[in-house]
Amino acid sequence: MSIGGATPVGETTHLDNAPDRLVSPWLIGVVFWSTVIAIVVLRTSGVPENPTIGTFGVIFTSIVVEALPFILLGAAVSALIAVFVSDRMLARIGRLPRALQLPAASLAGVAFPVCECGSVPVGRRLIARGVYPAAGIGFMLAAPIVNPIVLGTTWVAYEGRGVAAEMTMLRGGLGLLVAIVAGWAIGRRSGVELLRESQQQIAVDAEHRDAHGSRSQAFADHLAGDFLFMGKFLVLGAAASATIQTLVPQSIVAGVADNPVLGALALMTLAFALSLCSEADAFVAVSFTSFSLGSQLAFLVLGPVLDTKLAVLYGATFRRQFAIRVLLVAAPVALAGALLADAVL
């Protein structure tokens, strides 16, 4: 999600202006009609009756159908914040005593329903505006986990398993802990030492402000941009989950899943690779029924803090090795939390 037009809408606006790598309308038309014809041919030829295709298709589609409206909801809230809420409100945290800034900023994430892509530009702005860097990082890492939309979707996803309250509280608590520990460990440097000068982001922000007139239109543009940007990552994640559930025999999965440490590490690796939006990842996590709830918790806590798309965003926002530092702090805390959760659940 974007705050201030720094990411998805910015991305698309940036792409609008790119002089090369453009797609012909004819090609889009050919792809569209080829798809329609392929659907008709495949449907009449009985291909959907194939167990592998049918199983993959149903699982894949169900994850996307279930999660997409939540992505839209998150995009709407993010767009509201981006268009109607001044980030000066967040900068008030910078006036608090330093000892309070880190926990206060991390807890402030509860009130800001943005997922991980939106929290990065907010964190950058906070630090650039003089907030104690540890607090900026704490907010950036906590907001995608502890905000009400993410906790709400976690509740909905785990309600049927009878552990909605436990998983929601554990996710919120462990997410907060990871954010505070990472903020404390990484954010003791100055803002200048942490932040990368990002001319591109500054230009995109300005471009976005210039490109759109009314606030309502800016809201609609943010909403659509965020939704389409995050939706493609959801599709990728759903495809990976469906592939595993369709093709990997239970015996192999069980071999990893039976070991709590290996299971948690495997799902954390998957969370990194899948790059799911935190507003939808609970629906994917709950589908890994072979893995323990603790391992699923590790998936839910690490993914919003560090994944492949975040690594790219971190690289564009912070100086070198920031993503590695986050990994070195967040992964052990998430793993310990997962093992503890397995012991109590």
Instruction: Kindly identify the residues of this chain, within the stretch 275-304, that bind other proteins according to CB under 8 A.
Output: 283-284, 286-287, 289-290, 292-293
Question: Using CB under 8 A, which residues numbered 144 to 173 contact other proteins?
Answer: 156-157, 159-162
87 binds other proteins (CB under 8 A): no
Among 80, 236, 261, 339, binds other proteins (CB under 8 A): 236
> Which phi and psi (to 5°) does residue 196 adopt?
-95, 140
Q: What is the per-residue binding string for other proteins in 1-20, x denoting contact by CB under 8 A?
A: -----------xx-xxxx--
Q: What is the per-residue binding string for other proteins in 175-214, x denoting contact by CB under 8 A?
A: --------------------------------x---xx--
259 binds other proteins (CB under 8 A): no
Using the contact rule CB under 8 A, the part of the chain among 52-60, 85-93, 102-110, 301-309 near other proteins is 52-60
- Within 10 A of 321 (CB to CB), how many other CB atoms are there? 13
Rounded to whole angstroms, the Cα distance separating 285 from 271 reads 9
DSSP 8-state class, residue 198: -
34 binds other proteins (CB under 8 A): no
Residue 87, Cβ density class (10 Å: 0-12 exposed, 13-18 middle, ≥19 buried): middle
> Which phi and psi (to 5°) does residue 195 adopt?
-85, 140
Among 3, 59, 126, 335, binds other proteins (CB under 8 A): 59
Q: Which is nearer to other proteins, 285 or 327 (CB)?
A: 285
CA dihedral 60→62→64→68, nearest 10 degrees, is 180
Contact yes or no for 314/326 (Cβ under 8 A): yes
Q: Among all chains, which residue has been given the structure tokens 């993010």?
A: 78
216 binds other proteins (CB under 8 A): yes
